[in-house]
Chains A and B, each alone.
Chain A
């Protein structure tokens, strides 16, 4: 009967057709044998898709991964995390410092004098005619030029809200009669220059200068407002660090256009242009101006001392000729959009980026892959891989399976798999500490956390090594302070808190806490009781919550715990500083600027120093660190700060996690030595653990190579 036969044979045929396709699909081995080109391709995987391929606009990690390959910055960091030139060949940092002549101040031994006399005095001091201490001497020697900027008059207009509720602005006209100003050109940045000069000009010479005397405001503003304007318009002293980049000649964009200083200037202006809504505005806010001195020289003047600013120039440089106002207007007209509202953010450039990085953008299939090709004219030479493919695989387990099947070249191993995969003969394995740490933070505004002894005791009661062993499967390291562990800034001399519950009890007894009949700790009849909170949805933090609760209960502390949804946790508890203790983590950058997290001015609601850490010494160091341009001095300050924070224990620092990545053993570094011979080397991670540092030299070989050194 035909119907019956159809009913039975159609599914059999369908299934047969589907199953036979198996024989056409290449296995791991066959992929490179059947298609030798496969060896010239590197396939990476990511959980999420990129969103915008423009370095000044992107804010997610997938976009940054691609941008870092397509675009190139002026500088980046080398194996030791020091800066090295990329598009910039070299750079020079010096400073211009200014101060207004304070004619009302008494200079010791000289009296009240004008600008000329001050310059004379300083020149004499520089020549060594006046006695000076070593530090002052060093500051004076650092001064290259001293000159006078003559007094001048100018008009400033500002818009001011009449009252808090008033919508309308009123125009405030300020007539400024600026007195003589003295300009110092320093060979290197010196944050202490005015402190040194005050030993010559008198202790109060700078602080007693009142800018308000030289302002004439046409409106009644009130004491506070006028003083603020005076500080802003006529600051007694001013530091203007200057970075001069010498650019690499003959660097080409992927479309053949030659890169020059105007592209740098344009990139800066694009970031600062409010139309583009760049998330990087804050990084470049300290920049006063960017000048293209000649096609290969860029001069960047800063408003104030801010050493992390140098690192921001690792940002990819945009091609001016493709994104300037004219081209944008053309594009807007072409696609029929309002040219007034059309900005870089709307441009199709963001899906077809052109930079001067080692890889040329080829294709982007949303949620599937992004392909890049090696750039023939790359200034450092064509990368060994001809193709870089960035796949989007939104699931970790399937990423792993694709790695086993050979269609992804590296895999980020989960902590529980490290033991299994570390010694697999087919793979090479890399691991290192990550840039973030997890901690328990105490609200130092509340009893009893305001006592450093109590905080130390709480930390001593927790066995961090056990957490690392059992919660992190050994994939973590203990940490003692707020700096990234692989950088110089981290002070390795500081010992972690010992795990010592008995010692903790002793410390608590010192602080007045004794065990009562039921075994709870008590002070003045009050039980030691608090709530430890964290956000839900993070299994690691949840496990630590339970471990900490158990550890503290064992020494007689009545700890309650609570898991809160992320938005509630941040908005209601962290931002409003409404908590006893919490578990959280920070992800750190390499720059050692800790202002936002540790400075005492940042303890208000909605700021990041929510534990309320206030320490004048630490404040001083934090400011010094962000103003210091000399690496060694910065490191010394950081070590001191690390020590203070470790003594104060505002956080119980728990651990940094370790990442582990595996690669096929056939991927090696290929180099050509001076004689032109090709040399293969094993991939070795840099000191800081970055194994992809030499990515441009990687290549996959058909067979696992054997190296002379490790067999």
Chain B
């Protein structure tokens, strides 16, 4: 076990190094220039562009820029080109905004998918199963932004309440339950939208896992012993069907920082995804690279966590 952890950490550090090199190269090779040194902007004279290039070290060779950037990142000195704010501070603020969205979305996904999937598996081939399959595919295939627009227009036109942003603007200083509920309401639509895709996919997984486990020998044995059907399903079958989902739990981690670009932009939610997206548009390299690096760390940490979790819950697995 310990040797596995040690090996895996070393492997992951090496991977991280390559990720940092490749992402750095990709961003610098991408077409377009940081908005401060864009030669297409008529307001900038060549001298200004030159001075900015110097200030951002863009006149140095790539490998020196690489060293400068990661040196600043590890000493916490990275600043955004756009507004000279510390990159880590910016990311932390945005992370806190994305967090509630992520938590509510995850709760919705994980609480809804299981009952839906299990029921589909129990009544497979029936009307409920078919309609849930239909809706799952519908939700998977409908473009998120389109669905979001439809929902927003519907809610605003029929209920006349604001839905955009983190709170109702100009609400003043209401009592705290009102304040809280107002925030919850603003969370509702974006997190439901963020969760729909997840619910659709996850409930399909649950269904197929249940079906697979149901045909196993130990389930048949349990039934043959005369164990009540409910106990067969929820104790013998479900517990074993849950195993693969433990690994998926580890993989949610990167979603924390990735946020959702589309949902956050549509709902003008000041989260991580939107910040990263706007940084990409402005070619704000420090922000893009920092977000990229952190999410790479989280992906690797996520896989590591799920490996370990798997070992813990499934004693059959020895690494």
Q: Which residues of A contact B (CB under 8 A)?
A: 1, 3-4, 7-8, 10-11, 14-15, 17-29, 31, 34-35, 37-38, 41, 43, 49, 51-52, 59, 274, 277, 279, 281-282, 345-346, 350-351, 365-369, 389, 391-395, 397-398, 401-402, 404-408, 566-567, 570-571
Q: How far is the CB of A696 from chain B (nearest CB, A)?
A: 19
Q: How far is the CB of B42 from chain A (nearest CB, A)?
A: 8
Q: Is the CB of A389 within 8 A of B169?
A: yes
Per-residue contact bits, chain B 84-118, to A (CB 8 Å; 1 contact, 0 not):
11000010010000000000100110011011001
Name the residue of chain B whose CB is nearest to the CB of A364.
B83
The 28 sampled A-B contact pairs (Cβ below 8 Å) are: A1-B234, A3-B234, A4-B230, A7-B114, A7-B115, A10-B111, A21-B185, A25-B168, A26-B161, A28-B160, A29-B160, A31-B170, A34-B174, A43-B170, A274-B51, A277-B51, A350-B83, A368-B165, A389-B169, A397-B149, A401-B164, A404-B157, A405-B164, A407-B164, A407-B168, A407-B169, A567-B32, A570-B40
Q: Which of B11-19, B127-135, B260-268, B292-300 contacts A (4 or more CB under 8 A)?
A: B260-268
Report how far A571 CA is from B40 CA in the complex, Å.
Answer: 8
Q: Is the CB of A24 within 8 A of B165?
A: no
Q: Does B187 contact A (CB under 8 A)?
A: yes
Partner of A392, one of B184, B188, B268: B268
Partner of A282, one of B45, B156, B169: B45
In the complex, what residues of B have CB within 8 A of residue A3's CB? 234-235, 238
Known interface pairs A18-B184, A21-B188; A393-B165 also in contact (CB < 8 Å): yes
13 additional contacts (CB under 8 A) given A21-B188, A398-B152: A7-B118, A21-B182, A25-B162, A26-B168, A35-B172, A274-B51, A277-B52, A279-B44, A350-B83, A389-B169, A397-B153, A401-B156, A405-B161
Q: Is the CB of A406 within 8 A of B45?
A: no
Q: Does B177 contact A (CB under 8 A)?
A: yes
In the complex, what residues of A have CB within 8 A of residue B43's CB? 59, 279
Report how far A407 CA is from B270 CA in the complex, Å.
Answer: 17
Q: How far is the CB of B222 from chain A (nearest CB, A)?
A: 15
Q: Does B171 contact A (CB under 8 A)?
A: yes
Q: Does B181 contact A (CB under 8 A)?
A: yes
Partner of A401, one of B152, B168, B230, B231: B152
Name the residue of chain B whose CB is nearest to the CB of A3.
B234
Report how far A405 CA is from B48 CA in the complex, Å.
Answer: 44
Q: Is the CB of B166 within 8 A of A1?
A: no
Partner of A395, one of B192, B231, B265: B265
Report how far A20 CA is from B188 CA in the complex, Å.
Answer: 10
Report how far A156 CA is from B20 CA in the complex, Å.
Answer: 54
Report how far A43 CA is from B278 CA in the complex, Å.
Answer: 23
Residue with the greatest number of chain A CB neighbours at <10 A, chosen from B168, B238, B275: B168
Q: Is the CB of A368 within 8 A of B230?
A: no
In the complex, what residues of A have CB within 8 A of residue B114's CB? 7
Q: Is the CB of B152 within 8 A of A22?
A: no
Known interface pairs A7-B115, A408-B169; A22-B161 also in contact (CB < 8 Å): yes
Q: Is the CB of B170 within 8 A of A38?
A: yes
Q: Is the CB of A21 within 8 A of B231?
A: no
Known interface pairs A1-B234, A277-B48; A405-B160 also in contact (CB < 8 Å): yes
Q: Does B163 contact A (CB under 8 A)?
A: yes
Q: Is the CB of A404 within 8 A of B174?
A: no
Report how far A51 CA is from B82 CA in the complex, Å.
Answer: 7
Report how far A1 CA is from B174 CA in the complex, Å.
Answer: 43
Q: Is the CB of B178 within 8 A of A18?
A: no
Name the residue of chain B whose CB is nearest to the CB of A608.
B42
The dominant DSSP class at the A interface is helix
Q: Is the CB of A14 within 8 A of B170?
A: no
Q: Does B31 contact A (CB under 8 A)?
A: yes
Name the residue of chain A whose CB is nearest to the CB of B42.
A608
Q: Is the CB of A4 within 8 A of B164?
A: no
In the complex, what residues of B have CB within 8 A of residue A274's CB? 51
In the complex, what residues of A have CB within 8 A of residue B108's CB? 11, 14-15
Within 8 A of A (CB), among B137-179: 149, 152-153, 156-157, 159-166, 168-172, 174, 177-178
Q: Is the CB of A11 within 8 A of B172?
A: no
Known interface pairs A1-B234, A277-B48; A367-B274 also in contact (CB < 8 Å): yes
Within 8 A of A (CB), among B229-276: 230-231, 234-235, 238, 265-268, 270, 274-275
Q: How far is the CB of A40 from chain B (nearest CB, A)?
A: 10
Report how far A8 CA is from B116 CA in the complex, Å.
Answer: 9
Per-residue contact bits, chain B 40-70, to A (CB 8 Å; 1 contact, 0 not):
1101110010011001000000000000000
Q: Is the CB of B160 within 8 A of A404?
A: yes
In the complex, what residues of A have CB within 8 A of residue B85's CB? 351, 366
Q: Is the CB of A24 within 8 A of B172?
A: no
Q: Is the CB of B31 within 8 A of A25?
A: no
Name the residue of chain B whose CB is nearest to the CB of A280.
B43
In the complex, what residues of A have CB within 8 A of residue B31's CB? 567
In the complex, what residues of B have CB within 8 A of residue A23's CB? 181
Known interface pairs A24-B182, A407-B168; A11-B115 also in contact (CB < 8 Å): yes
In the complex, what residues of A have CB within 8 A of residue B166's CB? 368
In the complex, what residues of B have CB within 8 A of residue A408's CB? 169
Q: Is the CB of A51 within 8 A of B185?
A: no
In the complex, what residues of B have CB within 8 A of residue A49's CB? 278
Q: Is the CB of B164 within 8 A of A41?
A: no
Name the residue of chain A whose CB is nearest to the CB of B275.
A367
**A-B pairs with lowest CB-CB distance, top 10:** A24-B181, A405-B162, A35-B172, A21-B185, A21-B184, A407-B169, A11-B111, A367-B270, A407-B162, A21-B181
Report how far A526 CA is from B172 CA in the complex, Å.
Answer: 73
Q: How far is the CB of B19 from chain A (nearest CB, A)?
A: 27
Report how far A8 CA is from B84 CA in the complex, Å.
Answer: 50
In the complex, what residues of B have CB within 8 A of residue A34's CB? 171, 174
Partner of B163, one of A35, A38, A52, A405: A405
Known interface pairs A367-B270, A368-B165, A407-B168; A14-B156 also in contact (CB < 8 Å): no
Q: Is the CB of A14 within 8 A of B111?
A: yes
Q: Is the CB of B185 within 8 A of A26?
A: no
Q: How far is the CB of A58 from chain B (nearest CB, A)?
A: 11
Q: Is the CB of B184 within 8 A of A391?
A: no
Q: Is the CB of A398 within 8 A of B266?
A: yes
Q: How far is the CB of A554 from chain B (nearest CB, A)?
A: 36
Q: How far is the CB of A2 from chain B (nearest CB, A)?
A: 9
Known interface pairs A18-B104, A26-B161, A391-B165; A405-B156 also in contact (CB < 8 Å): yes
Q: Is the CB of A25 within 8 A of B181?
A: yes
Q: Is the CB of A350 within 8 A of B278?
A: no
Known interface pairs A1-B234, A14-B111, A17-B184; A51-B268 also in contact (CB < 8 Å): no
Within 8 A of A (CB), among B184-231: 184-185, 187-188, 192, 230-231
Name the residue of chain A whose CB is nearest to the CB of B82.
A51
In the complex, what residues of B have CB within 8 A of residue A28's CB? 160
In the complex, what residues of B have CB within 8 A of residue A281's CB? 45, 48
Q: Is the CB of B84 within 8 A of A350?
A: yes
Report how far A407 CA is from B267 CA in the complex, Å.
Answer: 13
Q: How far is the CB of B175 from chain A (nearest CB, A)?
A: 10
Residue with the greatest number of chain A CB neighbours at <10 A, chosen from B168, B170, B230, B268: B170
Known interface pairs A21-B182, A391-B169; A398-B164 also in contact (CB < 8 Å): yes
In the complex, what residues of A have CB within 8 A of residue B157's CB? 404
Report how far A408 CA is from B163 CA in the complex, Å.
Answer: 12
Q: How far is the CB of B289 from chain A (nearest CB, A)?
A: 19
Q: Is the CB of A31 within 8 A of B266?
A: no
Report how far A34 CA is from B182 CA in the complex, Å.
Answer: 14
Name the residue of chain A whose CB is nearest to the CB of B107.
A14
Name the residue of chain A whose CB is nearest to the CB of B155.
A401
Q: Is the CB of A402 within 8 A of B40?
A: no
Q: How far is the CB of B28 from chain A (nearest CB, A)?
A: 17
Partner of A394, one of B45, B55, B156, B265: B265
Report how far A528 CA is from B274 CA in the complex, Å.
Answer: 50
Q: Is the CB of B181 within 8 A of A394?
A: no
Report how far A388 CA is from B231 CA in the complex, Å.
Answer: 62
Q: Is the CB of B275 within 8 A of A401?
A: no
Report how far A51 CA is from B279 CA in the complex, Å.
Answer: 12
Q: How far is the CB of A19 from chain B (nearest CB, A)?
A: 7
Report how far A401 CA is from B177 CA in the complex, Å.
Answer: 25
